[in-house]
Structure 1
């Protein structure tokens, strides 16, 4: 009887220990809600952002910019890592996402305006100079910050998506797809058309599980067959097809992100694409000072070798073409979500790069 009782107690304690460990791991993946702030930027929009000041003397502040279809939560692994290293962090929900304003007029999403918003956030925290790191469309804004406000940043880092040259958008959406069809064998910007079309928000919101899994897929080849080409993604969603999500996203993280998409809707976030398939972004780029079209400060590019939309070779070429200073290029056996899938290596490489600036 005593043996059985002790065995039962041991099993209970073991289960509680496992539960506590799981809860600790779960909590570690979240950003501390008490460290979020709201600020009105100069054009009157509210931005929601995570802020942690440097905890070590001499450590700079990092500005981390996410892309589609996400929030500041994309940076959970980098926030935990760099906060422990003593760095300051400003991590906004970009316009159209999370707790930040969600205007549905694409004119609000001009890169020049969003770049000014980012500087307003730095001003709110009295950060005179930062290092900016971006992924996906966050990387596009990194490039525009180099174009419009180079004096506010000591270095620029791009993940997966490289420098989005204004000259690229001198071509129409149809021309871009014809070129990529000839070069890659598929239109790797084809999905922009669906994201820009009326009703795309409703289709995505009606098939969020299907959308999440094809956006964060374990099988990255699906980007070539069922995501990027013209009409492919819409057909995938309307058929409510599914696939396994990448293991770099835990079931809890997946649930949190799908719930956020459901609660916030997709209408505002899709404006990031409407400005690209119209003339809005093309016209906006006319205001970039010619002398700032090249980046004169250190650049880091983290290339995702299994990203078949932002193809690594073309992204590396775009970075090298515009960088006048030291350019550090690291390559990862990863798909598009490199800061999630290769988080430890990315964090280590970014830290080494920053420490050697």
Structure 2
């Protein structure tokens, strides 16, 4: 197996700056699936940063971080996660469980000759970063989580309905009620049919809409099927929106929604039973960037979790931001990440 220069485009339209088209690669991992990623070699003495995005995204989510860190000599591996962008899009949910996805990523590190990396993750990427810490702690210097923090090995052991009832009792709304819609038959077609409405609420300027029209059971499906339109955020330009939406249209959402199906059902919880007990705690430094106006994943829960998840140092930053903190406040986030990375003992 070898990683080769990619003939594909990512996004599946023209690749805009700061990405250098010649640095995209495609690689077939040990289970035969293709991963598409952006690879920048590190300068001597600099670590490689592994960026893991979430839903409904691609490596393009990290454009501000790519611009910042590649100019400073850091190595970069910026993946299209399984189901997204130029990466394979299998439709079998069982292929998305963490024990398999983390092995894919280790295959990529091996192909690139990277012994250890620093992980920077967001959204579902934070679940994968958590499992990299659980399964392969020897391959990572440290872990940065944005918006969504460390997800414990027992998180998915609680039945979905029980989690919904608990969140409604504590928060007053079912903060993961939208998983039910995302896991339902035909959800991908429904979203594509009403993509402008869906995009508006994914990037809503009024984040209280996440409480009323996103998180509760049935709310999101009703919102988009009514073709409701609301003002989106200002920090994503019309050109960037067009790029992101075109990638969704070309790749579809049937594969990306498998990340929800394994969490809504029992597949992820069963898979996590294979995590070694001694790796339930993270033994390397953690950075957690809390998005204080992200009302889906609740910042306070992950703040507490970050402190309890590690027997090493924990660096906490709170941002007056919605879910997309790396895009909303790139200068602030990049500066804080840089300070944290420069303070790591990378020889440890």
User: TM-score of the superposition, structure 1-length normalised?
Assistant: 0.91
Secondary structure at 1:310 match in 2? coil
Q: Which residue of 1 aligns with 2:215?
A: 228
Secondary structure at 1:275 match in 2? helix
Secondary structure at 2:154 match in 1? helix
The C-alpha deviation readout for 1:125-156, integer Å capped at 9, x for no partner, is 10000001100000111100000000000101
Q: Which residue of 2 aligns with 1:125?
A: 112
Are residues 1:262 and 2:219 paired? no
Secondary structure at 1:166 match in 2? coil
Are residues 1:45 and 2:45 paired? no
Shift of 1:27: 8.0
Shift of 1:168: 2.0
The CA distance in 1 between the partners of 2:155 and 2:102, in whole Å, is 19
Aligned ranges for residues 33-72 of structure 1 at < 5 Å? 33-54=21-42, 56-72=43-59
Secondary structure at 2:180 match in 1? helix
The CA distance in 1 between the partners of 2:329 and 2:16, in whole Å, is 17
The CA distance in 1 between the partners of 2:54 and 2:264, in whole Å, is 17
Counterpart contact for 1:30–1:73, Cα < 8 Å: no
Are residues 1:194 and 2:181 paired? yes
Secondary structure at 1:128 match in 2? coil
Aligned ranges for residues 201-350 of structure 1 at < 5 Å? 201-350=188-337
Larger radius of gyration: 1
Secondary structure at 1:258 match in 2? helix
Counterpart contact for 1:132–1:156, Cα < 8 Å: yes
Secondary structure at 1:300 match in 2? strand
Q: Which runs of 5+ in 2 are unaligned?
A: 1-13
1:177 to 164, 168, 182: 164
1:354 to 337, 341, 344: 341
Counterpart contact for 2:143–2:286, Cα < 8 Å: yes
The CA distance in 1 between the partners of 2:238 and 2:261, in whole Å, is 31
Cα root mean square deviation, aligned: 1.1
- How many residues are aligned here? 331
The C-alpha deviation readout for 1:99-136, integer Å capped at 9, x for no partner, is 00000100000011111111111111100000011000
Counterpart contact for 2:18–2:66, Cα < 8 Å: no
Q: Which runs of 5+ in 1 are unaligned?
A: 1-25
| Inter-CA distance 62–324: structure 2 relative to 1 (3 Å threshold) | same
Q: Which residue of 1 aligns with 2:147?
A: 160
Structure with the greater relative contact order (CA < 8 A, sep ≥ 6): 1 or 2? Answer: 2
More helix by share: 1
The C-alpha deviation readout for 1:179-237, integer Å capped at 9, x for no partner, is 11011110000000000000101100101111111001111110000011100000001
Runs of 4+ in 1 over 3 A off after TM superposition: 26-30
The CA distance in 2 between the partners of 1:351 and 1:162, in whole Å, is 19
Shift of 1:29: 4.6
The CA distance in 1 between the partners of 2:268 and 2:142, in whole Å, is 24
Counterpart contact for 2:51–2:76, Cα < 8 Å: yes
Q: Which residue of 2 aligns with 1:21?
A: none
User: TM-score of the superposition, structure 2-length normalised?
Assistant: 0.94
Q: Which residue of 1 aligns with 2:3?
A: none
